[in-house]
Structure 1
């Protein structure tokens, strides 16, 4: 390997390390929900708000940073985002009450979307045009590794020692990522074509809003159930707490598998059709989960599938959004994160409502099934509108999920 190729590989690995840190913190809360609830003196339903707080941070931060920092040198911006992320996680050591943990989780989510959106653009710029998808997928690989290794290990540490510990370790990884970016990533000046006005033009397109709505509603269904995966598995499936990390690992393996399959789905059935079919399957899975979860082995299998199906949809949805956004590519990449984390917040909140009403741990998955069906409806409406006439989109003429690195 030449020195230049080695430096490029290390630069992409530095960005992937940031993806690993973000993926770990986003999902570890769900594995430690009972411990965090006990530590902050709230019930399980209320502790679901910690999931929503992080998601809301992403929703607010992603588009704001993408638009307002359009002309900021990318290397410095990525370092600043990850440094902020590290501080927000280390600060959780001082958080032991509901308000302070809510604030810490919100702040931790602010840099999430912008880091992935800008990091994806940077990774693609480091390699030849033919290798762009592989470079972007490497950052997505950081998320996959987080769900296979980072989340289960962090959950185990949080169960055995303190629920604060996983967040502190994520902060340490984030700090190391800042150093790695500083050393290995070359200078990344803006191209000169970015502007707030050009990015905002994407918001004039109806199909952009429909794509965002598909993600918000459709993925809200998955998060309505997965936000409460730990108490669901212990209460319905009778699984002991110590085995929860293995369940989370099964979800992570499903997630990585979905990323691999997504490109083939796009090639064979098309982007929008792939979204519709996958969301339909998610709706069916969620509809039966509350009943099937009472059988342990079947519950674990369904958790794996729950990781698989959304990970097929995310790259397809990112491709759809970038296709219909045209000149607003950077904003589109950031808005994808806002969309999926709006879904995260919406799902966790709706799940908390049915739990607080005493409907039991099978209820959130039924709520999720309803949301997934609504997502299918929006996707079908988008397809019908596209067939009726020009809407400023060429989405299904593109079958390669070039935005694959924009997962939550």
Structure 2
């Protein structure tokens, strides 16, 4: 019988983890650096990279739990549905934390707020790795989700200030590239560690990335002046603007279309297209690669047209590809091609909708921007829930794509409604100015 020294085993695992982390971060940094060069942004590259690293860590912790759910369930001796509560707890943390932490930090400089958010993120993701039961992990997952929306919300505003005038969409896209790259690099690595070693290592890796993000924010982020906010009560006045609420609804409904499809990608690949379970991971990487491309494509669209027109175009394309998906889902080649395309189109809307929200939140941009992240997660939850209803009724997995198309189509109508309303106000303003001449 061979006796393995536990300490040596831990040291070995840690060594392998650090080596993989080195290559992971190197690849991520190289990709983001390449993209920033391609987009001709010459200022504050390191600060944008710091935001991307933070986004990478946040994206990884949000999605890696889906890949290691069975491992977590087995380790904690709970059912898969119970383990699914860890996903919901994180999403709830995002919804609650986005306005709460942004509001509480309204008097601080952006540098200090981002640093505090990444510290919080690192602490509770590391604690998640040491959770020994269902209750403790549930609490830590909720607390881990709190800084998510605030980081992306504040980060989007900061990214827009880090780039030359007229390039704010590209700055936001670079920040969001961390989130998209997490689906290509971080989530597969975290899933591999969870399957072959221990689910705890997945969260330890997130904690290490959190430390890297903190250091990069501390050393690379310029010291922005203290916030000009007049306080939380004054900032909350932004929610009296009707268009802001309509845009939040647009985010929830429109992005819900993608999540209706993405939430059921595993049974779509295996049960409908006939692939083995091992193919699901590769399909998710394909979707992630599509997100990387779509993220930067969406920034270009927002600059070429306008944020709202880009949203209409993006969601319109989403309706089309989701409907096509229902027709060709049984074709194993077509489904993989569509997986990449749907992933790509899903992120063409990310930067335009963030810009639209910021434009509608003048004076309280960070709070409005953070609320948009809450809306993204509400879209995640509502899309998955609504798509699950027809599946439960026996209409099959492809019904999720039909629900997704309906949600994305509703988003198109909302966006068109906003454009029409703006045009009416523009005409009225012109008439008033003409009348007073």
- Given candidates 81, 89, 102, the residue that maps to 1:66 is 102
Going from structure 1 to structure 2, the CA distance change for 1:185 and 1:262 (only over 3 Å counts) comes to: closer
Equivalent residue number for residue 300 of structure 1: 336
Is 1:278 the counterpart of 2:314? The answer is yes
Equivalent residue number for residue 312 of structure 1: 348
Give the stretch that moved more between structures: 10-19 or 259-268: 259-268
1:7-406 equivalence runs, <5 A = 8-36=44-72, 39=75, 47-95=83-131, 99-126=135-162, 128-129=164-165, 132-355=168-391, 359-389=395-425
Equivalent residue number for residue 23 of structure 2: none
Give yes or no for contact 1:258–1:311 (8 Å, CA) kept in 2.
yes
- Report the structure number with the largest CA radius of gyration: 2
Give the stretch that moved more between structures: 225-234 or 109-118: 225-234
Instruction: Provide, for residues 156-176 of structure 1, a one-character-per-residue CA deviation record: whole Å limited to 9, x for no partner.
Output: 333333333322211221022
Give the stretch that moved more between structures: 177-186 or 213-222: 177-186
Give yes or no for contact 1:52–1:346 (8 Å, CA) kept in 2.
no
Instruction: Write the distance in 1 (CA, Å) between the matches of 2:172 and 2:357.
Output: 16
Instruction: Provide, for residues 73-104 of structure 1, a one-character-per-residue CA deviation record: whole Å limited to 9, x for no partner.
Output: 33232222111111221222344655444433
Give yes or no for contact 2:106–2:227 (8 Å, CA) kept in 1.
no
| Structure with more relative contact order (C-alpha pairs < 8 Å, separation 6 or more) | 1
Q: Secondary structure at the match of 1:71?
A: coil
Give yes or no for contact 2:110–2:227 (8 Å, CA) kept in 1.
no
Give yes or no for contact 1:14–1:184 (8 Å, CA) kept in 2.
yes
Give the stretch that moved more between structures: 287-296 or 222-231: 287-296
Instruction: Provide, for residues 279-313 of structure 1, a one-character-per-residue CA deviation record: whole Å limited to 9, x for no partner.
Output: 13222333343453322222211111121112111
Instruction: Write the distance in 1 (CA, Å) between the matches of 2:306 and 2:44.
Output: 32
Instruction: Write the distance in 2 (CA, Å) between the matches of 1:209 and 1:356.
Output: 32
Instruction: Write the distance in 2 (CA, Å) between the matches of 1:37 and 1:247.
Output: 23
Give yes or no for contact 2:97–2:146 (8 Å, CA) kept in 1.
yes
TM-fit CA distance, 1:216: 0.5
Give the stretch that moved more between structures: 199-208 or 109-118: 199-208
Give the stretch that moved more between structures: 116-125 or 145-154: 116-125
Give yes or no for contact 2:257–2:406 (8 Å, CA) kept in 1.
yes
Give yes or no for contact 2:93–2:146 (8 Å, CA) kept in 1.
yes
Give yes or no for contact 1:259–1:315 (8 Å, CA) kept in 2.
yes
Give yes or no for contact 1:206–1:391 (8 Å, CA) kept in 2.
no
Give yes or no for contact 2:97–2:149 (8 Å, CA) kept in 1.
yes
Instruction: Write the distance in 1 (CA, Å) between the matches of 2:258 and 2:244.
Output: 22
TM-fit CA distance, 1:36: 4.4
Instruction: Write the distance in 2 (CA, Å) between the matches of 1:218 and 1:129.
Output: 29
Moved over 6 A (4+): none
TM-fit CA distance, 1:143: 1.8
- List runs of 5+ in structure 2 lacking aligned partners: 1-40, 430-437
Give yes or no for contact 1:217–1:372 (8 Å, CA) kept in 2.
yes
TM-fit CA distance, 1:151: 2.0
